Amino acid sequence: MSVAQTDPVLKVTDLTLRYSTRQGEVKAVEEVSFELAKGQSLGLVGESGCGKTSVANSLMRLLPDNARLVKGQVWLNGEDLLSLSDEEVRRFRWRRIAMVFQAAMNSLDPVYKVGQQVIEAIETHGVETTIDDAEERVARLFRLVGLDPQLMERYPHEFSGGMRQRAIIAMALSCDPDVIIADEPTTALDVIVQDRILRELKSIQQELRMSVIYITHDMAVVAEVTDRIGVMYAGRLVEFGNTADVFRAPMHPYTAALMSSFPSVSGERRPLGSLSGEPPNLLDPPLGCAFHPRCAYATEVCRRESPPQVSRGQQWAACWHPLDGQTSSTGNHDAY
Amino acid sequence: MIGYLIRRMWQMALTLLLILTVTFLLVQAQPGDYASFYVLDPDLPTEVKEQMRATFGLDRPLWQQYLIHMRNTFTGNFGVSFGHFPRPVMEVLLERLPRTLVLFVTATGASFYIGFLLGKAIAWRRGGFLEYAATISGTTLFTVFTPAFALMMIWVFAFKLGWFPVGKFLDPLVWRGSDVTANSVFSLMLITALAFAVFAFWVLFALKRKGNTGMKRLSIPIILVAALAIPLVWALSGIGTLALDILKHMVLPIVTLTLISFAGTMLLTRNSMLETIREDYVMAARAKGLPEKQVRDRHAARNALLPVVTSLIYSLIFAIDGSVIVESVFSWPGTGMTLLEAVRSEDMPLVMGAIVFIGLFSLLAHVIVDILYVYLDPRIRYQ
Ligand SMILES: Nc1ncnc2c1ncn2[C@@H]1O[C@H](COP(=O)(O)OP(=O)(O)O)[C@@H](O)[C@H]1O
Ligand code: SF4
Ligand SMILES: [Mg+2]
């Protein structure tokens, strides 16, 4: 790589995305900015409907017809993704950014052999020039993700959910992309398979020094596999920092609430009461801080004005009354 | 897969039994007594009466006649046609069947191909001019009264423009003095067409399997050369003008049949395609960076094809109906017209033979569609 170690592989600035619907504009992504270094893994967390998939799809420029990128830039190795022509974007996809889809179960075409579908990507991007080399490559990838290479000759309906997910991971790795986005990669699987696949994905990521974005609503997953964490609420990034820092002392009340509502690693369930209600409708998000209707710390200013960005070391949050490490014991999010 | 096919064959056998029984009953239900009608007919020579009696067991009880009818069907013995006396029904039908097959297979193939291409295109680009034009003209043609439309085609393209002959299988003036029969020329044409189809398929698929990109690029030119060589060989063969005469007579009925039936496939493909476009694997194909055309053809359309093929059987039946009408309007002497003539002239042996033939033919079409489906859908192939 010609890029220096310290330069980010991926840099997103002010990304803003709207969907036009009959009811009005859905403000799905609002001024999201973050960076991702080579070999690093980032977790994007937040409840369902907070705009995580929209961010992921913007990075692939794989958006539905009613989506509109209002502003922002996505730099991948110094190249502005959003200024590329459609044809350039097509060559870019998978070769530079690949994706492990949320709907892995149905992401394989039922009428083609699984190996063939991986080869299709390799052929399209000219990663290997002969069929034999391409097949060899797929066999290697299958072994890497824990699939018997003979399964290349099988059809998707002969695969279990876990096997399909592994095949999709192999497919995502097939063109040596700079960044892989894993959008809720394991939600459809049972917990044991989920855990195994995630661990393997992490070890592959470290082995190949890839940059990975994990998208999930499951804080346990983030704690286990990511270096950095970005918390999204109502289309905005509300907290960002090193995973260890954020788990030790979350600054944003939403982060703290999310953490308290997942079962801890030791197994005992923490009280779920701290996060009631639902994320807002993004057609018309609340004024001021969008979290204020559900926030225990909300005051008058929260209802009126957008919160400022407050930093603590490498960690930041958008909040009028950020939690400091000391007072955090007043919430039910004890130290991780 | 074997299990699936056996199950289907079993259903076919039952259907066949049903067809045979219904034909038998239909003939029995004719007003008047079928047996005595012919036995008493003074115009029929005695030896024919004898032959009829023996062939159909006319003097036996009904249930025995039924069994004899079954046996005759399986041995291909339908007796002698009255209208084409003294030719056996089987001979008449075997002469006519290829003509119907050609009309029918070409028109069905063409309408399926056109319908699929159009359906695919209008589903991919919604709301364009093509969508309006294709949908409106397609549905109009699909619902129009077939004989009226066929007559209109004749009026425009045969009478007014004079591009094609008005009807029939050939023009006697062209054939005067030639020592070959129309049937032998037609058979040769069929063999040529079949050989070409097999060759083209082989080039396209056998070479593709090899995965050799150089050969892949050669396949289209090879087929084109073959396609150009065929008319040349025919032109030099001396019977080229005769073949051309038959071809000219074929165009109008085939075009008519195609036009009235392509819309069915088109609308089905469109609906099926609108479903598959939303599938995750189509999104995945796009995410992989495949060119749009490849996403559309290899993924969205390939999957949309499955339900369309299933319904192909209905369009087959539609086309069989259509071919009886179209054959009569164009005086095309195929099985359909033969059936109609036989009914009109009360040529009962020929009627029964023709109905059984058409029934067998649609069953065979069923089997072919089934096998095609199994081939197209791996989820059934590997059950
Ligand atoms: N194609 C679309 N048209 C209109 N609204 C959409 C569309 N896709 C997503 N949305 C809306 O955008 C918001 C963010 O959705 P999404 O990015 O899928 O969030 P997440 O992945 O965090 O669940 C949601 O309110 C969702 O309803
Ligand atoms: S800004 Fe106010 S309402 Fe929003 S999270 Fe912070 S304290 Fe709660
Ligand atoms: Mg999502």
- In the beta sheet, which residues pair with residue A26? A19
> Phi and psi (nearest 5°) for B97?
-55, -50
- Given A90, A92, A158, which is nearest B382 (Cβ)? A158
Contacts of B377 in chain A (CB under 8 A): 110-111
Pairing of strands A97-100, A79-80: unpaired
Higher pLDDT, B26 or B306: B306
Q: Which of B231, B234, B252 is nearest to B185 (CA)?
A: B234
Question: How wide is the angle at C-alpha A271 spanned by C-alphas A266 and A275, nearest 5°?
Answer: 120
Q: Give the number of domains in chain B.
A: 1
A110–chain B Cβ distance below 8 A for any pair:
yes
CA distances from residue A221 to A162, A226, B159 in whole angstroms, order as listed: 17, 8, 78
Q: Is A52 in the pocket of ligand 1 (CB under 6 A)?
A: yes
* pLDDT value for A272: 44
CA distances from residue B382 to A157, A162, B1 in whole angstroms, order as listed: 10, 21, 6
Instruction: Pick the ligand that lies closest to the CA of residue A298.
Output: 2
Nearest ligand 1 atom to the CA of A282 is 25
Cα separation of B199 and A153, whole Å? 28
Question: How many CB atoms lie under 10 A from the CB of residue A281?
Answer: 13
Cα separation of B132 and B119, whole Å? 12
Instruction: Pick the ligand that lies closest to the CA of residue A304.
Output: 2
Contacts of B281 in chain A (CB under 8 A): 106-110
Q: Per the domain annotation, does B29 fall within a domain?
A: no
Nearest ligand 1 atom to the CA of A279 is 25
* Chain-centre distance for alpha carbon A11: 14
What is the CATH classification number for the domain harbouring B356? 1.10.3720.10
Q: Is A21 in the pocket of ligand 1 (CB under 6 A)?
A: yes
* pLDDT value for B210: 58
* pLDDT value for A6: 61
> Given an 8 Å threshold on Cβ–Cβ distance, is A60 in contact with B288?
no
Q: Kindly give the residue spans of alpha helices, DSSP state H, lying in B154-301.
A: 172-175, 182-201, 207-209, 213-236, 240-276, 280-287, 292-294
Nearest ligand 2 atom to the CA of A320 is 1
Q: What is the pLDDT of residues B91-129, one digit of tens each?
A: 888 888 888 888 888 888 898 899 999 999 999 988 778
Q: What is the pLDDT of residues B268-300, one digit of tens each?
A: 999 999 999 999 999 999 999 999 999 999 999
Q: Which of B60, B58, B89, B63 is nearest to B76 (CA)?
A: B89
Closest residue to atom 11 of ligand 1, CA basis: A28
- Given B281, B287, B376, which is nearest A93 (Cβ)? B287
The owner of tokens 């089987």 is B90
Cα separation of A334 and A248, whole Å? 8
Mean pLDDT score of chain B: 83
Which SS3 state, helix, strand or coil, does residue B321 take?
helix
Which residue range is the domain that position B315 belongs to? 1-15+98-156+254-383
Contact A228, A45 (CB under 8 A): no
Nearest ligand 2 atom to the CA of A252 is 5
> Phi and psi (nearest 5°) for B118?
-65, -45
> B244-280 in b/e burial notation, b at 16+ Cβ within 10 A?
ebbeebbebbbbbbbbbbbbbbbbbbbebbbebbebb
Contact A198, A186 (CB under 8 A): yes
* pLDDT value for B34: 59
Ligand 1 geometric centre to CA of A212 (Å):
22
Q: Is A298 in the pocket of ligand 2 (CB under 6 A)?
A: yes
The owner of tokens 């119907």 is B100
Cα separation of A59 and A36, whole Å? 13
* pLDDT value for B271: 92
Asked whether the predicted pLDDT for residue B212 surpasses 60, the reply is: no
CA distances from residue B57 to A258, A267, B43, B67 in whole angstroms, order as listed: 89, 87, 20, 10
Instruction: Pick the ligand that lies closest to the CA of residue A295.
Output: 2
Contact A42, A226 (CB under 8 A): yes
> Given an 8 Å threshold on Cβ–Cβ distance, is A91 in contact with B286?
no
A108–chain B Cβ distance below 8 A for any pair:
yes
Cα separation of B105 and B101, whole Å? 6
- Our mutation pick for probing the ligand 1 site, out of A15, A21, A25, A26, counting the most ligand atoms within 8 A of Cβ, is A26
B281–chain A Cβ distance below 8 A for any pair:
yes
Cα separation of B47 and B35, whole Å? 15
- Given A60, A62, A109, which is nearest B299 (Cβ)? A109
- Given B284, B286, B289, which is nearest A95 (Cβ)? B289
Cα separation of A292 and A277, whole Å? 12
Which SS3 state, helix, strand or coil, does residue B315 take?
helix
How many angstroms away from the CA of B3 is the closest CA of chain A?
Answer: 18
Q: Which residues of chain A have pLDDT under 70?
A: 1-6, 187-188, 262-274, 325-336
Pairing of strands A41-45, A211-216: parallel
Q: Per the domain annotation, does B75 fall within a domain?
A: no
Q: Per the domain annotation, does B263 fall within a domain?
A: yes
Cα separation of B367 and B314, whole Å? 13
Q: Is A70 in the pocket of ligand 2 (CB under 6 A)?
A: no
Is the N-terminal amide bond of B86 cis, ω within 30° of 0? Answer: yes
Confidence class for position B75, pLDDT limits 50, 70, 90: confident
pTM score of the predicted model: 0.83
Q: Per the domain annotation, does B248 fall within a domain?
A: no
Nearest ligand 2 atom to the CA of A307 is 1
| Highest mean pLDDT out of A197-206, A304-313, B131-140, B331-340 | A304-313
Q: Per the domain annotation, does B61 fall within a domain?
A: no
How many angstroms away from the CA of B281 is the closest CA of chain A?
Answer: 4
* Rg, Å, chain B Cα set: 24
* pLDDT value for A263: 55
Q: Which residues 6+ apart lie within 8 Å of B243 measured at CB? A: B185, B188, B189, B234
CA distances from residue A131 to A124, A135, A143, B238 in whole angstroms, order as listed: 12, 6, 18, 49
Measure the CA dihedral A169/A173/A175/A177, to 10°. 120
Q: Spell out which residues have Cβ within 5 A of ligand 3, the ion.
A: A 53
Q: Is A188 in the pocket of ligand 2 (CB under 6 A)?
A: no
> Given an 8 Å threshold on Cβ–Cβ distance, is B279 in contact with A101?
no
Ligand 1 geometric centre to CA of A28 (Å):
6
Q: Which residues 6+ apart lie within 8 Å of A325 measured at CB? A: A248, A249
SS3 string, chain A, reads: CCCCCCCEEEEEEEEEEEEEECCEEEEEEEEEEEEEECCCEEEEECCCCCCHHHHHHHHHCCCCCCEEEEEEEEEECCEEHHHCCHHHHHHHECCCEEEECCCHHHCCCCCCCHHHHHHHHHHHCCCCCCHHHHHHHHHHHHHHCCCCHHHHHCCHHHCCHHHHHHHHHHHHHCCCCCEEEEECCCCCCCHHHHHHHHHHHHHHHHHHCCEEEEEECCHHHHHHHCCEEEEEECCEEEEEEEHHHHHHCCCCHHHHHHHHCCCCCCCCCCCCCCCCCCCCCCCCCCCCCCCHHHCCCCCHHHHHCCCCEEEECCEEEECCCCCCCCHHHHCCCCCC
User: For residue B311, what is the enclosing H or E element?
Assistant: helix B302-329
Mean pLDDT of B19-33: 76
Ligand 3 geometric centre to CA of A256 (Å):
21
Tokens coding B127: 């709301």
